[in-house]
Amino acid sequence: MKYILSHKEHPVLAIDIDEGTGTISKLGEVYSIERLPVSVQRKKDIIDRRTLNEWWVGRCIPASRSGLRTLLDTLFISSPQLLLTKCYGLSLSDQYWVKPKNSSLQWKDINFFDNPFSEDVGNILFGDFPDDKEDFNLLSPDNTSDGWLKKKWVIGNSKCQLIKSGSGTYRQEAYNEVLASAIMRRLEIPHIPYEVITIDEYPHSLCNNFISKETDLIPAWQILQTIKKSNNVSYYGHYVNCCKSLGLSNIIDFLDRMLTVDYIISNEDRHYNNFGVIRNASTLELINSAPIYDCGTSMWYNVLTTRIPQPIDKTPSKPFKKNHNEQIKLVTSFDWFDKKALSGIDEELRDILSDSITIDNERKDRLCYGLLSRIELLDEAIKNHKTDSKK
């Protein structure tokens, strides 16, 4: 099938998409090379189809997503890539889409920011099956959502909102999101606020979409592709270099705050797809780092209660170092950090957990103690940083 890859109302590139695999099989005429996804590599006007496909396939629901197999079986579809063209590749994270060649479709009439979308895909991912498959509508942003937890987009209070489930016995991720929001609110760090809602008696997180039809979210993994990495440069240094080359000068300040918050909450999964930058979709200029979001896989969310808190040297981290003890050393300055602002945060956590049916009192006690322990460990790390700075 022949399509025009577009960015808002701007045609970007003619492409062929294989009907059997859902991947881009052929490239055609180039209309706007500057509007290609930033991760797509090119030499002059020759576009690399491999990196374009990496970007395209990266838009689909990952194979690790809970409920995906059931969704595909229900729809008689063999792979998540084949869902992409069912929604024209539309997303609520950026303004890219694919338009069938010779189609009269227009961006203003089809994008999910201005127009309603189906919740059928998200409902199936949550185990709610339609009575009549003939009426099933695949025009959904859930076809282009990432992450392994069950999630779905809904329209609530006239806003696009994302609902995400928890995992395991404790279903703790939703509470962790609210705790992270509280910490960042106290420290005055730009972030996405979360709340806990109950679905079928279990906790889920809810947040508003922070991308509008005027912006694009560009994940860190795409930013990292914009410059060839030298062997003698760390991934932290490479990310900083890439951001600065794209005009984002305050990236180190953002990373200082993100790594500090992740240290406090013992975040295990700050991967290159859940932080990034926001771009103006009209001028293509980077606006700023995206506010911090997606902090659920933290606070020993899947650790047995009796093993909370874990020793500092066993606390895994991402994306730049394998453990938080090493990663916190990447922070260049703690001058902005106010420990007093976190006074009483353990009691706020206890209040956040007060209505949980999945977390008993012993676990609440250990989580509160563990949180205070992390703050004290951070205090020690800050003292060591000041000592090392004086040497």
In the prediction, which pLDDT does 386 show? Answer: 77
Q: For residue 136, which phi and psi values (nearest 5 degrees)? A: -70, 135
Q: What is the pLDDT of residues 261-297, one digit of tens each?
A: 999 999 999 999 999 999 999 999 999 999 999 999 9
Q: What percent of the chain has pLDDT over 70?
A: 98
Could you state, in order of their start, the residue ranges of all structural domains in the chain?
2-164, 215-390
The CA-based angle 358-259-203, given to 5 degrees, is 15
Q: What is the pLDDT of residues 247-260, one digit of tens each?
A: 999 999 999 999 99
**Class level of CATH domain 215-390:** mainly alpha
DSSP of 54-67, one letter per residue? HHHHTTSPPTT-TT
Q: Is 135 a residue whose pLDDT tops 80?
A: no
DSSP of 249-314, one letter per residue? TTHHHHHHHHHHHHHHHT-S---TTS-EEEEETTT--EEEEPPB----S-TTTTS-GGGPSPPGGG
pTM (2 d.p.): 0.94
Catalogue the E-assigned strands of 185-254: 195-199, 202-208, 215-219
Q: What is the pLDDT of residues 288-314, one digit of tens each?
A: 999 999 999 999 999 999 999 987 777
Q: For residue 123, which phi and psi values (nearest 5 degrees)? A: -65, -40
Return d(Cα 217, Cα 73) in angstroms, integer: 31
Q: What is the pLDDT of residues 339-391, one digit of tens each?
A: 999 999 999 999 999 999 999 999 999 999 999 999 999 999 999 987 776 65
Dihedral angle at the C-alpha atoms of 307, 312, 313, 317, nearest 10 degrees? Answer: 90
Q: For residue 139, which phi and psi values (nearest 5 degrees)? A: -80, 85
In the prediction, which pLDDT does 389 show? Answer: 67
Pair 29, 5: CB distance under 8 Å: no
Stretch 330-337: mean pLDDT? 98
Return d(Cα 336, Cα 110) in angstroms, integer: 44
* Length in residues, the chain: 391
Q: Which of 207, 197, 243 is nearest to 355 (CA)?
A: 197
Q: HSE of 44 in the Cβ direction (CA atoms, 13 Å)?
A: 0
Give the single-character DSSP code of 36: S
